[in-house]
Amino acid sequence: MRSEAAARAATLRAQIAQHDYRYYVLDDPEVPDAEYDRLMQELRALEAADPSLITADSPTQRVSGTPSAAFGEVSHSVPMLSLENAFSEEDLRGFDRRLHERLGVDGELAYVAEPKLDGLAVSILYREGLLERAATRGDGVTGEDVTANVRTIRAVPQRLRGQAPPLFEARGEVFMPLAGFARMNEQARARGEKVFVNPRNAAAGSLRQLDARLTAARPLTAFFYGLGAVTGVALPPQQHQVLQLLRSLGLPVSPEARTVRGVQGCLAYYRDLGARRSALPYQIDGVVYKLDSRADQERVGFVSRAPRWAIAHKFPAEEAVTVVRDIEFQVGRTGALTPVARLEPVFVGGVTVSNVTLHNIDEVQRKDVRPGDTVVVRRAGDVIPEVVGVLGERRPPGARAVQLPASCPVCQSQVLRVAGEAVARCTGGFTCRAQRQEALRHFASRRALDIEGLGDKVVEQLIEHDYVRSPADIYALELGQLSQLERMGEKSAANLLEAIEKSKRTSLPRLLFGLGIREVGEATALALARHFGSLEALAAADAARIQQVPDVGPIVAAHVAAFFAAPAHLAVIEALKARGVHWPDMPVAAVTGQPLAGRTFVVTGTLESMTREQAQEALTARGAKVAGSVSKKTSYVVAGREAGSKLAKAQQLGIPVLEEAAFLKLLAGE
């Protein structure tokens, strides 16, 4: 009986180890997670029934032992080195040149290039193939014993595969993939616990848990890249073969590692990996180049604590640490109060960052950013910079939490926050200088009334002198006023007046866009103008009617209706007209009863219930356009029997296809 169970347990252990290997080392899992879980379950049950079946390398033993009070010390018989950094091509050329000089060779040197992983270095000792001890780097000579924690990492095998040397020390990096990091922080946030600022800190924090059961719940993984003490095997002559050896023993190695030739090869690798950096499932902060010839590695040796035969070529840092000088609220065109962190300027992601938006008060409170805090700022690629988190331990005493101001910092009007909305707004409207300024800037902008010469600086001064309060006041400006402004001579003042005069002749879509109605961008302005034809018709419409405009939803409709319901806005429009601003009415594209206005259809194949011509007539009668060929602009393709290339094209472009039944429903307005 026991021998049967023991044999089954051994089989299960071997199967599970094989699945781990397929998953972590080959990156080619053989079975779905559920099957893996089933094997684990069966093994657990066998071991629970007869604990004498448990072996040290059983996958059920990854989490074991009791939490300790402190980590033991481990001394590294082969020191764990650090790396010199190269921050530029020049630094890299210098590195390559020095190696040529020391080795006295010409011609290109071969290097192994691999990602510099953003985690923490570990050294794992296997004796007779069994995981015996794992340690952190510490100061390179003495590290901490994190065996219990490292055992919980499924990517780290409990037993080496194949012919394991008597003693084999593997060196690598433990890190946390981005997906796991995001998931873990989300869960922590939901429980109201502290979140980690980045995957590196999360990995370090997780590995240094005194209770391994906590580490087990953290999504850590590892790649191996080097050796420590090894006995009983001849080591291969080249670094890339060391990687092969690690892999063959069942240790995961970065799939990105490559052998390259010379500086050119290094740089090509660097650029390629740099371009793919943000698409990788984990964070890296550069590339490591290592001489491929291990004999040459030995010949050049070390300087202090770093090898001469390797270098880390850093990518521009995407994260930096700085101090928040202050948090201010900016008031936008629509009165939205946006908290902005004013930072000690910091160079990150290739630019100097001194202001970072915090988006809204919820975000400030969620991240708990306070003036005086030391924060991690991130700017990856072209993404706008963000504060990723606060370094809590560096908070100065007395740092006060940020509150939403009760009144507008610009005009002192009341600040309102609609329940359920993230955004708080100043209620001052045009009486708020900040809103006036933004509104005027927008009104005069190129895609609105297009007043050349009425840029930010001029608008600012016009507001400051209180020459202009509403857009209509622009049309009452006089030469004398303009020429007094800073950096504005007679000539440019006259030019500006001329531009203002010219802008009086405009179009309904431009005017609608320029009025700065919330949620009304250029496309919506055009749709509204086409649908209603005149400002009067639009102003008279209620939200329900406005919502009939193609692509206008209930929120936009409500904003438009509210805008024209405000007497102050109607007064501005009247004043604009009185001062000569004019625009022609537009041909009405779609009146009600044209539910398909703005949509383009292509009809193809044979329909059962009508001819193709009838289908086309039905569509045009409802305001739709009918086209002969499928393009990106097609809204729908109606496909009857034996539809051919047009249907294929629609599928290729991802354009919705209506079969006859759906088409009939659409015509019926269902």
What is the signed CA dihedral for 380, 386, 392, 396, rounded to 10 degrees? 120
The answer to whether 174 touches 218, Cβ cutoff 8 Å, is no
The answer to whether 291 touches 111, Cβ cutoff 8 Å, is yes
CB of 93 to ligand IVH, least distance (A): 20
**How many Cα atoms are found within 13 Å in the side-chain-facing hemisphere of 20?**
27
Structure tokens at 492: 């440019």
Whether 367 sits among the annotated catalytic residues: the reply is no
The answer to whether 68 touches 278, Cβ cutoff 8 Å, is no
The C-alpha atoms of residue 581 and residue 589 are separated, in whole angstroms, by: 24
Q: Indicate the helix (H) or strand (E) that contains 555.
A: helix 554-565
CB of 253 to ligand IVH, least distance (A): 10
Strand duo 625-626 + 636-639: pairing = unpaired
The C-alpha atoms of residue 656 and residue 341 are separated, in whole angstroms, by: 45
- In the complex with ligand IVH, the residue whose CB is nearer, 137 or 218, is 137
DSSP string, 419-450: TT-S-EEES-GGGSHHHHHHHHHHHHSTTTT-
- In the complex with ligand IVH, the residue whose CB is nearer, 185 or 283, is 283
The answer to whether 234 touches 291, Cβ cutoff 8 Å, is no
CB of 118 to ligand IVH, least distance (A): 7
Strand duo 110-117 + 221-231: pairing = unpaired
The answer to whether 409 touches 425, Cβ cutoff 8 Å, is no
Q: Which of 519, 475, 35, 24 is nearest to 222 (CA)?
A: 24
The C-alpha atoms of residue 416 and residue 425 are separated, in whole angstroms, by: 5
CB of 71 to ligand IVH, least distance (A): 18
Q: Which of 148, 119, 144 is nearest to 216 (CA)?
A: 148
How many C-beta atoms lie closer than 10 Å to residue 411's C-beta? 20
Using CB atoms, what's the residue nearest to ligand IVH?
A: 121
- In the complex with ligand IVH, the residue whose CB is nearer, 121 or 485, is 121
Q: Which of 327, 352, 321 is nearest to 340 (CA)?
A: 327
6 Cβ contact list (under 8 Å, min separation 6): 53
530 Cβ contact list (under 8 Å, min separation 6): 586, 587, 588, 589, 590, 598
The C-alpha atoms of residue 570 and residue 616 are separated, in whole angstroms, by: 42
Catalytic, out of 116, 290, 367, 646? 116
- In the complex with ligand IVH, the residue whose CB is nearer, 81 or 170, is 81
CB of 293 to ligand IVH, least distance (A): 15
CB of 77 to ligand IVH, least distance (A): 15
- In the complex with ligand IVH, the residue whose CB is nearer, 246 or 573, is 246
Residues that bind ligand IVH (CB under 6 A): 81-83, 114, 116-117, 120-121, 137, 173, 225-226, 288, 307, 310, 312
CB of 219 to ligand IVH, least distance (A): 18
Strand duo 351-357 + 337-348: pairing = antiparallel
Structure tokens at 668: 């019926």
- In the complex with ligand IVH, the residue whose CB is nearer, 280 or 627, is 280
- In the complex with ligand IVH, the residue whose CB is nearer, 309 or 583, is 309
The C-alpha atoms of residue 444 and residue 438 are separated, in whole angstroms, by: 10
Burial (CB < 10 A; 0-12, 13-18, 19+), residue 515, is buried
- Quote the distance between the C-alpha of residue 152 and its chain's center: 29
- In the complex with ligand IVH, the residue whose CB is nearer, 225 or 601, is 225
**Residues paired with 526 in a beta bridge:** none
- In the complex with ligand IVH, the residue whose CB is nearer, 114 or 473, is 114
Q: Which of 219, 222, 143 is nearest to 181 (CA)?
A: 219
CB of 227 to ligand IVH, least distance (A): 10
- In the complex with ligand IVH, the residue whose CB is nearer, 173 or 660, is 173
CB of 226 to ligand IVH, least distance (A): 6
Q: Which of 175, 183, 223 is nearest to 202 (CA)?
A: 175
CB of 113 to ligand IVH, least distance (A): 9
Which are the catalytic amino acids? 116
